[in-house]
């Protein structure tokens, strides 16, 4: 039988809350954080294997430098959710601000609704899925990994992308430097279906033909 702990965030500072979460993770299978009230820096630098649920919205840098743990946000997330995470999983049931998944090295970030600008900036690896729209300069300086946008993507998408791929189901406002659009193939469709179904994004088979694939024109764009 799993052991669940509940933690009221309202009387605590971010530092106090993060310390308590680390202690609770040693003896509990799941931690439910109540009344997070959009507090910043929650579960930052957390490297233990744990299941953590926020019963509400979180502020800036939630799950920054996360590794191993699975986080669920039953609300919205502020700027830079999942910043520089190296592993684990973050699921945001609502929307997210700018810089979601900035610089991630691994793991999976899911935002069920829309995200702000510069999603996946300088990401190196891992997976980011945005269930709605993503703002301007999504994927700027992208160095690897996979991004899936189910809605529209803003201006200058994939600006100065070096490696990696961005799948976009909706409209692409404009591309940034070194980005180009190619058709998806049967392997891409299979990959998309597997990962989207895993996170409860169920599309009709015909909808997979709507995806466009953004990749780099060159892996050495700054060297002539």
Residues 102 and 207 in one domain: no
Q: Which domain holds residue 164?
A: 117-224
Residue-wise pLDDT tens digits, 84-129: 999 999 999 999 999 999 999 999 999 999 999 999 999 999 999 9
Of the three residues 57, 82, 113, the one that is the final residue of a domain is 113
Residues 214 and 130 in one domain: yes
Q: Please compute the mean of the pLDDT values over residues 43-56 and round it to a whole number.
A: 95
Token reading at 172: 């692409």
Tell how strand 51-55 and strand 70-73 pair up: parallel
Q: How many domains does the chain have?
A: 2
Residues 164 and 121 in one domain: yes
Of the three residues 89, 113, 137, the one that is the final residue of a domain is 113
Residues 91 and 132 in one domain: no
Residues 198 and 97 in one domain: no
Token reading at 76: 């919205």
Residues 43 and 62 in one domain: yes
Residues 97 and 5 in one domain: yes
- The radius of gyration of the chain's CA atoms, rounded to the nearest angstrom, is 18
pLDDT interval class at 221 (50, 70, 90): confident
pLDDT score of 219: 78
Residue-wise pLDDT tens digits, 14-25: 999 999 999 999
pLDDT interval class at 224 (50, 70, 90): low
**Gap between the Cα atoms of 129 and 138, Å rounded:** 12
Buried b (16+ CB within 10 A) or exposed e, 156-183: bbbbbbbebbbbbbbebeebbebbeeee
pLDDT score of 223: 59
Residues 18 and 35 in one domain: yes
CB atoms within 10 A of CB 113: 16
Residues 50 and 101 in one domain: yes
Of the three residues 113, 139, 157, the one that is the final residue of a domain is 113
pLDDT score of 2: 83
Sequential DSSP letters for 80-109: TTTTT--SSEEEESS-B-TTTTTT--SSEE
């Amino acid at each position: 039988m799993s052991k669940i702990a509940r933690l009221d965030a309202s009387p605590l500072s971010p530092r106090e809350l993060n310390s308590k979460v680390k202690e609770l993770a040693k003896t509990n299978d799941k931690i439910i954080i109540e009344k997070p009230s959009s507090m910043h820096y929650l579960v930052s630098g957390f490297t233990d294997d744990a299941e953590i649920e926020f019963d509400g919205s979180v502020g800036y840098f939630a799950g920054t430098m996360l590794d191993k743990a699975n986080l669920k946000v039953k609300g919205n997330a502020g700027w830079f959710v999942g910043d520089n995470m190296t592993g684990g999983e973050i699921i945001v049931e609502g929307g997210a601000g700018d810089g979601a998944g900035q610089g991630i090295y691994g793991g999976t970030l899911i935002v069920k609704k829309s995200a702000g600008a510069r999603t996946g900036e300088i990401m190196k690896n891992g997976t980011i899925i945005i269930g709605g729209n993503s703002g301007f300069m999504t994927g700027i300086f992208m160095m690897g990994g996979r991004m899936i946008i189910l809605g529209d993507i803003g201006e200058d998408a994939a600006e100065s992308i070096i490696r990696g791929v961005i799948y976009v189901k909706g409209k692409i406002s404009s591309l940034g430097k070194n980005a180009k659009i190619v058709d998806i193939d049967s392997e891409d469709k299979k990959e998309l279906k597997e990962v989207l179904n895993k996170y409860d994004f169920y599309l009709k088979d015909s909808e997979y033909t709507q995806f466009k694939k953004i990749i780099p024109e060159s892996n050495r764009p700054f060297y002539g």
